[in-house]
Structure 1
Amino acid sequence: MGKMYNIKPINLLQGEKMEGYLNSLTKPKGSLGEVEEIAIQLAQITNEDFPEVTPPGIIVFAADHGIASEGVSAFPQEVTVQMVHNFLDGGAAINVLGKQIGAKVEIVDIGVAADLDRIGLHRRKIRHGTANFLEGDAMTREEAWKAIEVGSDMATSVIENGVKCLIIGEMGIGNTTSSSAILSALSGLDVEDVIGTGTGITTNQLEWKQQVIRQSLQKRTPDPTDPIDTLSKVGGLEIGGMVGAILAAAERKIPILVDGFISTVAALLAQRLYPEAKGYLFIGHRSMEVGHEHAIMLLEKKPILNLGLRLGEGTGAALAFPILQAATNIVKEMATFESAGVAEKI
């Protein structure tokens, strides 16, 4: 059994107070649409009249997947290592977007299949990638809890350094296969409904990927009522890391900006473990992965952006962050009808 989290329900009264304040600003009532909904949710999360989301912090969890040996990905497994080096060199999309929003990007080796030792890398490896879940469980229950703990430690550390909004991302060849298997197990949806081409496989590869997942689920029989059973049987170490990061941030009343398909599946696992965690989540965007829409619907959320993205790394969440920032600035800086001397109604 892993660590227990004390996640309080979000404060709905603070949200009502925020709604009243938004209605006093110099604009027609509700005219900023979803930006106002974001401001209300931020008030509910932080319990503050003037919520803050800056500075944001980005944590990218990197791990490998044994299932990649079944040829389910368009890229070879070595790409995980190569991309970790790219992150540390500052050359990946998440580095560029992180810089744009003033976020420090933390890279965590939670289960890369190779040994990495570089300055700036958080070395928290639990094992050298998961096992091939077509042949056996991806990891033990203990390893799944350890992954959650690593994610929790990382989030706690960045929050203690002053981060006001947590962006989670991942890197791991084969992780759309793992996420599709988790989603199918948790939702009861057929594999065909939750699986797409990942980062660009062919139709034949897609059919093979579906077959691999279907067979794996039949063999592993993950328990849909037990998120840790599902994570350990068909999950990934980086997915576990993101679950822990979400739970630690929710416990500290920090808004969590979730990225695409893989991190939304992690959010779903977090919500199944602690239903109250859902109130602390924002979905940054709707990705091109077909399963993403199902995962978002299960969380009863509305994605902020829809830009046809399918990269991961936290990129969609980093792109959505300025919308959260805009919501807080509107509340802080706009005049009220009274202060501006503007007539409210004719």
Structure 2
Amino acid sequence: MKKMTIRTRLTLVVGGMLLVGGLVLLGITYLLVFQQLGDKAYISKSIDGPPAGVAGNLITNIQGEFRSDATQAVLTQGSIALAVVVVIGLAFSWLVAGRLLQPLHRVTETARRIAGAPDRGLHERIALTGPYDEVKELADTFDLMIARLDKSFDVQRRFIANASHELRTPLTLNRTLLEVSTDHPDAPTELRQLGRTLLAVNDRHERLIDGLLLLARSERAVAERSYVDLADVVAHVAALQQDADVKVTAVADEAPTTGNAVLLERLVHNLVENGVRHNVPAGGWVRVESGTRPDGAYVTVSNTGPVVPRYEIPNLFEPFRRLGPDRAASSGAGLGLSIVRAVATAHGGRVFADPRDGGGMTVTVILPTAESSEYPT
């Protein structure tokens, strides 16, 4: 049931007050007229004496009819006048309420635009003019809040850009030095073994930093969208995993959506890579599917693997959370499913997982469906 707006409630309150006040005024007028007519009849009888015979009865009847007609006219015409006043009052109060609430509509429209484009809309302000009242105070407070959020987002964007450069540079330099030392023909076996170990550690740190930076970027809503068929993404990612020890099969049915193609590819890649990494030692498989359902386009990734307790599943979508012994042994950074959830949320979708009987999981991502005709390629 749709709730009444403030404008409607204000109009009804004013109309109700007019109606109650008009009824009270009409009642008082009726009593005064009735009393006044009764007093005049009594005075007439006192001066002229009591009427006698047929003439007296006729005069009495005429006075009674006159008083009845007068009071009836007061009620009828007063009710009509009251109805006209209430209708005019309702119309006037509707216009006045709309005028008074116009600044609130401006605040709402600005907030809606900012919510629709958070990365670009934070630079917008209400800048409400007029007397300093409650609405002006609300608009100024909202502008102050948006200014602080805008500043915080700018700081975050600068931090991501600086961290991307400052953190990757020394790791790239370390990898180069280690590769040169390891590939040197005179390097002893112990040095080569140490170099390979350090290269593996360095590679894990690089993946960790890339994952953190991607997670920070993907948590913001996607402002610029393009048409993406998830079937193409599924087929491409599955083809890249054909050399893995785990068998990867794909059922790529058409699944149109909109968003950032790079982030959506990373979403599917993380799901498939996660299914390959957390699998059984031999005879394992990963199945990735795409398609459409009534609530949107979907990607589903199922795999064999260790038994996953249902109560542990929500924790797997948190950063740096792994299951059981994989906490220490896994070569991943513990950000795969966190990035999947962040990318899905940024695209207006959702993700959920269910444990499979016998081990492994089924992870499903649902995104809004798009019509290909709206995004010509």
Judge same fold: TM > 0.5, yes or no: no
Bigger radius of gyration: 2
TM range (shorter): under 0.3
User: Taking structure 2 as the reference length, what is the TM-score of the superposition?
Assistant: 0.20
User: Taking structure 1 as the reference length, what is the TM-score of the superposition?
Assistant: 0.21
